[in-house]
Structure 1
Amino acid sequence: MKNFLEKVGHDIQAFKSIFDNIKDLIFLMEEDHHSFRYIYVNHSALHILNLGETIIGRRMEDVLPKDRADILIKKYKLVIYTQKTIEFTEHFKTEKGTFFGETSLSPILTKDGTCKYVLAIVRDISKRKQDEQQLKENQKKLQSLIEHNGDAVYELDLNGHFRRINHRATEITGYDKEDLIGKPFVPFIREHDGEKTLTHFQRALQGRYEEYEAEIYHKDGNPIQLFIKNIPIVIDGELKGVFGIAKDITTQKEMEKILRENEEKYRLISENAFDIIRVISPSGYVKYVSPSIQKILGYSVEEYVGKSYLKYVHPEDVSILRKRLTDIMNGEKTPVVEIRVLHKKGFYLWLEITTTPVLENGEVRELVTIARDITDRKKLLEKLKKAAFYDSLSKLPNRRIFHKQLQAAINEAAVNNKKVAVMMVDGWKFKQINDTYGHVTGDAVIVEMGKRIRANVRKQDTVARIGGDEIAILLPNIESQQIAEEIAKRIIQSFTSPFFFNGTCIHMGISIGMALYPDHTLDMNTLIKYADKALYEAKEIGKNEYKIYSATE
């Protein structure tokens, strides 16, 4: 890797440090006659592919199976020849199973335009591929469940025309699929049940779950008594049609019970294999829980079954679940609920829970719940909320929060007859630091600026990053200008100590411009403008100086 370092520059160690902390697999390869030699492999690649450090310096065909090495060498040669990035997907067996990766090969050009090195970045998409395969299997299982269901299962469009029927529907009615697909269902209903059946269908189009009995005509003209369920098909909030499940209730009643229970439990388990499935008694005790409980919450099935469904729920969320159980027992439909549940290791996870009652003779016999881990989604939402108000680098409030809090401070000061100070701060020769030491060091300097300023203001003060190396300080509710000056002096004093980063000693400095409400203006924007003007004058004086706005200057 030494020759590579000499060619691409001294900052490669910084990039190596970054690459070693990236989850993607990263390889740096050097052209070696008709092959390529491993120059660098990051920690993720060594771990996931179970490679040792001895791979460094070896040629590709000495590490990989010959057929795979031949394929990859051709792709690497293409990158060297065209000097263009190529992307492809590959999969291969490892000791840990099949690995799927999205690979990007990028040429690294030297100053003279030659290319001897290729940077390979491989994103592990094994989990995604597994999920896609699981989805396909679930879809096949659902289709199999419909087609081989003991009841007639059919799908109606929004106009009441048959779109799909299973084989059992043809057995019950005597009609072939070709006789029904595309036809409206109304003509097959006996006259005395026509209006009622149409009303239930229209209610299903309004999003309601309907159950009723009706008589239809068999193809031979004989009436058939059916127990029918109409289920609205809602995808992403949009009604797409209606599912119908029809049972010939002249046949064995016991079969209805067995088929309904087996169908419901099998569908839930097969379609939600990665979620926690629970069966809860009306008294609130867990009768069954899927094995996924251990993967998500850390408890074994034996530890969980037989306990109250509220046992591991966050105390603040217990009342929510209790109300849901009461509502369901009273026959009400309940929405999806988000609650916190205790992991076996002692921390809480956010779960999204859907509850469905299992009815027998019109009474709730048990409850089936599906719980999905949404902790990452909750964290992401929190990050997105924070990103709207905080600077991602320094973690300081941004301009939006600063303006909001400044206006609030002015309003409060007007009532309490107090002062508000605004300071605008610029780093001393920040561009020179950036140009000399690079953007990574420049970013570290900005973070350090925020820390030092934050450490020398009051708890109620606001320190915000406005842009670049410009930081704004809000001092609300102060009695005099002297208080603001004392804080400015403390801040300046804190910048007299050098900053050490990655073995480099950096001498920092700042300039501060200050304006006060109501001394200089009553308007928020003008107050910021005056502080900016004072900052400009402070920078003219020199390093580590502050200047208070003066209308006479």
Structure 2
Amino acid sequence: MNNRKRTDQPSYQPEGNPSPSQSANTDNLINIKELLGTNFYTLFESASDAIFFLEGDKVVDCNKKTLEMFSCSREQIINHSLDQYLPPRQPDGSDSREKIRQVINDALSGESQYFEGKLAQAGNIVFDAAVSFNGLELKGKKILHCIVRDITEHEREKEFYKSLAISSLVGIYILRDGKFRFVNPKFQEYVGYSANELIGMSSMDIVHPEDRETVREKAVKMLKIQQPVPYEFRTITKSGQIKWTMEIVIPIVFDGQREILGNYVDIHDRKMAEEALRNSEERYRSILENIEDGYYELDLKGRMTFFNESCRKIFGYNREELKGMKHRQFMDKETAGKLIQLGRQVYRTGQPEKRSDFEIVGKDGVKKQIEISLSLMKNLAGKPIGFRGMARDIDDRKKAEATILRMAYHDTLTDLPNRLLFNDRLNVVMSAAKRNNRKFAVMMVDLDRFKLINDSLGHDIGDLLLQAVGTRLRGLLRKSDTLARMGGDEFMLLLPEINQNKDAEIVARKIVKSFQDSFILKNYELKVTASIGIAVYPDDGEDFDALKKNADIAMYKVKEKGRDNFQSYDSLAE
């Protein structure tokens, strides 16, 4: 937290040494209702977050949510110090009053502050809270606008997820800059190192030297959603034992920083089982019954001749029903045709198919995604007698992959395409425009005075407004157009194949006009406008950076002229 102070600004001082503003009586307190006006004061009173105003360290006004959160009456909080709603110390051991004093002073010096820690109700019941402090100057006086959110449940959830990770039967870790930051007990047990030994160690130190480059390459691809399937490699434990491992990694934000969440699955037994299958026909059948993956054998007509218990569970039939069943009985016509083609290819070439995905229909009629391998079986004379392979239930993994893929390319709040998907679509449109000598337009749409609504009504209303704006904008566009949220209250539009620059202006005019209608959100009627900048390819730029920059310039020109309008970049010179 930044602790810089400006000596020309008032500061919060302890009660034993009050500043002039602190010694003011109730009659001299700033009249917040008069300053905000009736309409804004009504919104302030009905906000879902606790909102109060500080003059010095005194609370000069608050909304109903504040009284509810602190379990107090207006008489108990108005013109009283915020100190009475602080526990003696924060979780890190620091003095609560000293910490809040520093936060208030920094906010009064002009820097918005954010505090996350413990507050206390009137009955000394402590709860977790997140508080934002923003300095305002009203009638020549410095006051603080404070928004409080109870995050007790959020903190409980964090502890819950941490306990899940600790009790998980899968090895779980978190990396920052390639080094372990968190490891659960199962991971420690698997690699043989303690948590103290692992924290700060490079993750590559426990990977077999021959596998490090491959692991690094596959991890990068998985983080970029270019390789959605887990990858396998050898781990070297503290004792020097080599274990086969399957790993999945995903990018996360942890404690406000981008980090990597990974899990280790011990597949050593499975790898050893696969090796045993290759070495001994007699030994493998007993081993197969004890592995997690399904194993099956088919005759040349596609009938089940052998399968292990895992395979039976995947298909959902009992042994008597599955024995002799043909593939057409648990697949639709199209999928069965795909399997027949694969069988013919393996039969003709003799080359196994290591991995192929199919959709089957279980006994209960539920469709399920499985992954199979398929290889040709021959008798001692070398004559083909059937097929065999492994089957794995990947239904949950497929659903997870689809969820992760959507999260990677869409904004979680509005479900609109994000910057990554917008860039991909723009590259496709640009390539087509270059080939066909066509135009397309990029629009930058920025909401006017959104921060005022977000700060005064709270982030819940702000989020609902962004969602409503996204819905309204989508209704104005063609199916071929792309609307993306780039962050904050900034949206971008991609209009492919326009005939002339005025086509983009027609769309912009429709958008500006649509914002004349208010947004009704939780009984609030909100009026918001938009400033739009337009850049057209190739007139205003021949790559994304140039088009975005020029659309930005045009949009800010609208802001300068009073907002609530649009501006084409090519008309700025006129």
Q: Taking structure 1 as the reference length, what is the TM-score of the superposition?
A: 0.50
Q: 2:301 aligns with which of 262, 280, 283?
A: 283
Q: 1:423 aligns with which of 443, 449, 465?
A: 443
For the residues of structure 1 that align with 2:332 and 2:450, how far apart are their CA atoms? 49
Q: 1:392 aligns with which of 406, 412, 423?
A: 412
Aligned counterpart, 1:227: none
Determine if contact 2:296/2:389 at 8 Å carries over to the other structure: yes
Alignment of 1:75-90 (within 5 A): 83=91
Query: Residue deviations 1:33-56, cap 9 Å, x none?
Result: xxxxxxxxxxxxxxxxxxxxxxxx
The CA deviation at 1:288 is 4.7
Query: Residue deviations 1:110-151, cap 9 Å, x none?
Result: 27996546864545689954999xx9xxxxxxxxxxxxxxxx
CA gap of 1:510–1:81, structure 2 versus 1, over 3 A, is closer
SS at match of 2:327: coil
The CA deviation at 1:271 is 1.4
The CA deviation at 1:433 is 2.4
Q: Counterpart amino acid of 1:306?
A: G
For the residues of structure 1 that align with 2:482 and 2:278, how far apart are their CA atoms? 62
CA gap of 1:302–1:401, structure 2 versus 1, over 3 A, is same
Determine if contact 2:419/2:486 at 8 Å carries over to the other structure: yes
CA gap of 1:343–1:242, structure 2 versus 1, over 3 A, is closer
Q: 1:264 aligns with which of 284, 306, 313?
A: 284
The CA deviation at 1:536 is 1.0
Determine if contact 2:289/2:309 at 8 Å carries over to the other structure: no
The CA deviation at 1:389 is 3.8
Determine if contact 2:352/2:376 at 8 Å carries over to the other structure: no
Aligned counterpart, 1:445: 465
* Greater Rg over alpha carbons, structure: 1
Alignment of 1:6-25 (within 5 A): 11=49
Aligned counterpart, 1:350: 369
The CA deviation at 1:441 is 3.2
For the residues of structure 2 that align with 1:242 and 1:265, how far apart are their CA atoms? 13
The CA deviation at 1:457 is 1.5
CA gap of 1:369–1:125, structure 2 versus 1, over 3 A, is farther
CA gap of 1:502–1:84, structure 2 versus 1, over 3 A, is farther
The CA deviation at 1:466 is 2.1
The CA deviation at 1:541 is 3.5
The CA deviation at 1:456 is 0.5
Aligned counterpart, 2:572: 551
CA gap of 1:302–1:427, structure 2 versus 1, over 3 A, is farther
Matched, 1:433 2:443: no
Q: Counterpart amino acid of 1:433?
A: I
For the residues of structure 2 that align with 1:437 and 1:290, how far apart are their CA atoms? 61
Query: Residue deviations 1:294-353, cap 9 Å, x none?
Result: 754454555543321243335554455335545666793513222222334656432111
For the residues of structure 2 that align with 1:236 and 1:492, how far apart are their CA atoms? 64
Determine if contact 2:519/2:525 at 8 Å carries over to the other structure: yes
The CA deviation at 1:510 is 1.4
Q: Counterpart amino acid of 1:353?
A: I
Matched, 1:305 2:326: no
For the residues of structure 2 that align with 1:355 and 1:411, how far apart are their CA atoms? 40
Q: Percent identity, please.
A: 30
Determine if contact 1:426/1:471 at 8 Å carries over to the other structure: yes
SS at match of 1:287: strand
The CA deviation at 1:489 is 2.1
SS at match of 1:538: helix
SS at match of 1:307: coil
The CA deviation at 1:235 is 6.5
Matched, 1:402 2:422: yes
SS at match of 1:508: coil
Alignment of 1:167-316 (within 5 A): 260-261=281-282, 263-272=283-292, 275-289=293-307, 296-313=314-331, 315-316=333-334
CA gap of 1:373–1:501, structure 2 versus 1, over 3 A, is farther
Unaligned runs of 5+ in 2: 1-46, 51-87, 94-115, 128-151, 173-185, 187-266
For the residues of structure 1 that align with 2:165 and 2:421, how far apart are their CA atoms? 39
CA gap of 1:485–1:324, structure 2 versus 1, over 3 A, is closer
SS at match of 1:440: helix
Determine if contact 1:317/1:339 at 8 Å carries over to the other structure: no
- The 10-residue stretch of structure 1 (488-497 or 364-373) with the greater mean CA deviation from structure 2: 364-373
Determine if contact 2:422/2:482 at 8 Å carries over to the other structure: yes
Determine if contact 1:514/1:548 at 8 Å carries over to the other structure: yes
Determine if contact 2:439/2:498 at 8 Å carries over to the other structure: yes
RMSD (Å) for aligned C-alpha atoms: 4.7
Matched, 1:479 2:489: no
Query: Residue deviations 1:266-305, cap 9 Å, x none?
Result: 2111112xx4443433432123555656754454555543
Alignment of 1:483-522 (within 5 A): 483-521=503-541
Aligned counterpart, 1:110: 120
SS at match of 1:421: strand
Q: 1:374 aligns with which of 394, 413, 419?
A: 394
Aligned counterpart, 2:561: 541
For the residues of structure 2 that align with 1:437 and 1:127, how far apart are their CA atoms? 41
The CA deviation at 1:402 is 3.3
For the residues of structure 1 that align with 2:534 and 2:168, how far apart are their CA atoms? 54
The CA deviation at 1:425 is 0.2
Query: Residue deviations 1:206-259, cap 9 Å, x none?
Result: xxxxxxxxxxxxxxxxxxxxxxxxxxxx969999x987999xxxxxxxxxxxx9
SS at match of 2:496: strand
For the residues of structure 1 that align with 2:341 and 2:285, how far apart are their CA atoms? 24
Query: Residue deviations 1:5-37, cap 9 Å, x none?
Result: xxxx9559xxxxxxxxxxxxxxxxxxxxxxxxx
SS at match of 1:487: helix
For the residues of structure 2 that align with 1:387 and 1:452, how far apart are their CA atoms? 22
CA gap of 1:510–1:331, structure 2 versus 1, over 3 A, is closer
SS at match of 2:462: helix
CA gap of 1:492–1:287, structure 2 versus 1, over 3 A, is same
Aligned counterpart, 1:38: none
SS at match of 1:271: coil
For the residues of structure 2 that align with 1:243 and 1:300, how far apart are their CA atoms? 27
Q: Counterpart amino acid of 2:354?
A: V
- Between the two proteins, the alignment pairs up a number of residues equal to 343
Aligned counterpart, 1:527: 547
SS at match of 1:342: strand
CA gap of 1:544–1:331, structure 2 versus 1, over 3 A, is closer
- The 10-residue stretch of structure 1 (469-478 or 359-368) with the greater mean CA deviation from structure 2: 359-368
CA gap of 1:524–1:323, structure 2 versus 1, over 3 A, is closer
Determine if contact 1:84/1:107 at 8 Å carries over to the other structure: no
Query: Residue deviations 1:179-201, cap 9 Å, x none?
Result: xxxxxxxxxxxxxxxxxxxxxxx
Q: Counterpart amino acid of 2:340?
A: R
The CA deviation at 1:522 is 5.1
Determine if contact 1:341/1:348 at 8 Å carries over to the other structure: yes
Q: Counterpart amino acid of 1:527?
A: L
CA gap of 1:497–1:298, structure 2 versus 1, over 3 A, is farther
For the residues of structure 2 that align with 1:380 and 1:399, how far apart are their CA atoms? 22
For the residues of structure 1 that align with 2:309 and 2:350, how far apart are their CA atoms? 29
Q: Counterpart amino acid of 1:429?
A: R
Determine if contact 1:279/1:368 at 8 Å carries over to the other structure: yes
